[in-house]
Amino acid sequence: MELEYTDKDTIQRKYETVVNGYFSGISKDLGFRREQLRNLYYAIQDNEEALADALHKDLNRSPDETEILELNQVLTEASLAISKLSKWAEPEKQHLFFKDMRYAASSVKLEKNPYGAVLIMGPWNYPYKCSLIPIISAIAAGNTVLFKPSELAVHSSALLSQLLENVLEETIFQSVLGGITETTQLLTYKWDKIMLTGSTKVGKIVSRAASKHLTPVTLELGGKCPVIVTKNVNLSVVAKRVAWGKLVNAGQTCICPDYAIVEHEVVDEFMFRLEEAIKNLYPALEAGNESKDYANIVSERNFDRIQGLVKNTKGTVWQLGEPDREKLFYPPTLVRGVTVHDSLMTEELFAPILPIMEVENVLDTAPALISQFHDGPLAAYLLTDDKHEQNYLSTRIRAGAIAINDVLVQGGSASIPFGGFGSSGTGHYHGKFGFDEFSYTRPVLKQTKFAELLLKARYPPYIPFHRSLIRFFSRPVGKTFPREGPVSGDFDGLTFTQLFYVYIIGIAIGTYQAIKYTFYG
């Protein structure tokens, strides 16, 4: 099957549709947003089998794996957005009466406003989860969306685009199918926000294009996610978790373990436990057969890239099966004895390969090694039961997320923000974090006529009394921090004098409101 790419004129029309759709105001209504999210929810629920089948055609991925890793979370996210939308969108009142005397007579609220027309570009490796959750967040926040799925996942991209265009209002949602040419055209337009899930290389291209219009971006990229294994952990438990996290979707997961740093004292046992875990997870592969639970590599190009990396490694290779280019099958692979300069350590692998580096002491080695060679991965995994080691490593490793004694799971909850740091991306989404990511906060201040009694001191001609009055209400007074020594930070609060004036002003404002209500209604 080949995707039918969207032609240039149609792309232009679709862009204009979502831009005009936003300015029509239709997406600002919360009831309308909930209806669109409901339509999306049932489109996914009613077509779960077809969606899983499409991805099986693209990646030979097990339908069970697609449900577990993608569809369940998509349905949860949509349901949560529908049920919590009113709360998420409610303006937040700011009570400044006791915080900032200059605004004692003012009312202030913080509104969550949509950006406008949003471009969302999805990936091929998790085409449902990493596309639909951002779309859910964008629609919940009141944006209109143009969706560009990956051209590599042919069947799933075609089906998903068709399903969404069938159930979502065309003024708020359009999709474009295509490759580099079509993406390049989309990036020439002025968007109000852009989100990409993809590689760091493409993320840089998107950032450059967005910078021409100062468009804010959310980038969910990748990086080499390390697994750090100390001697103070139950290896039989964590080895199975690492094997699963490495091999789901054949290692084509942005947050999967990319390499392991293991203390020398336990590396033999860790290798043994990993091999046993892999054999237990995929018994068909051990028997020399195909496994219905093991996915394929997405393309011949990626297969050749992976094969080349393994061919050039200086480490000792263990594989459960033989690579088959025709079937795009690449077996589970462990490589022991690699160094930071090994071929497998030059780039994000995106493959069912786990290079293993041996060190004497991970506390002395791992943080510096990670920061020097692969700083800021999307996730870092700390496998240790020792609390000191957990705290030491987590405070010295920069990563989008830290998980202790497990892998991948931090990316599966609507209550946990998902996003990168540095070269692994910027911004966060999932649940309310996604709603906030596709919204901008706008303060709205309303001033009363009575406030003029307080504000007249700001007008020229300036006199000493007015300057003193402004200074009194503008600067911190009373308890402050010391010039020297420890600073506790516990010096917030108004002085007795300030509280007295607050009381007087409160009476004055109350009297003013009472008079206004009595005589003017």
b/e per residue, 422-435, with b = 16+ CB within 10 A?
bbbbbbbbbbbbbb
Is the bond preceding residue 461 a cis peptide, omega within 30 degrees? yes
Q: How far apart are CA 431 and CA 76, in angstroms?
A: 9
Q: Is 220 a catalytic residue?
A: yes
Tell me if 132 sits within 8 A of 504, measured CB to CB. Answer: no
Q: Is 254 a catalytic residue?
A: yes
SS3 233: coil
Q: Single out the catalytic residue among 130, 225, 254, 256.
A: 254
The first and second tokens of residue 158, run together, are 């075609």
Q: How far apart are CA 163 and CA 181, in angstroms?
A: 24
- For 502, residues 6+ apart whose C-beta sits below 8 A from its C-beta are 97, 98, 101, 104, 494
Q: How far apart are CA 52 and CA 160, in angstroms?
A: 11
Nearest Cα to Cα of residue 37 among 147, 175, 133, 156: 133
Q: How far apart are CA 474 and CA 69, in angstroms?
A: 53
Signed CA dihedral, 58, 407, 433, 68: sign only: positive
Cα distances (Å, whole numbers) of residue 402 to 73, 90, 158, 290, 374 = 20, 31, 35, 34, 15
Nearest Cα to Cα of residue 101 among 485, 513, 493: 493
Q: Single out the catalytic residue among 220, 263, 348, 358.
A: 220
For β-strands 316-319 and 333-336, DSSP reports them as antiparallel
Q: How far apart are CA 473 and CA 456, in angstroms?
A: 13
Catalytic residues: 220, 254
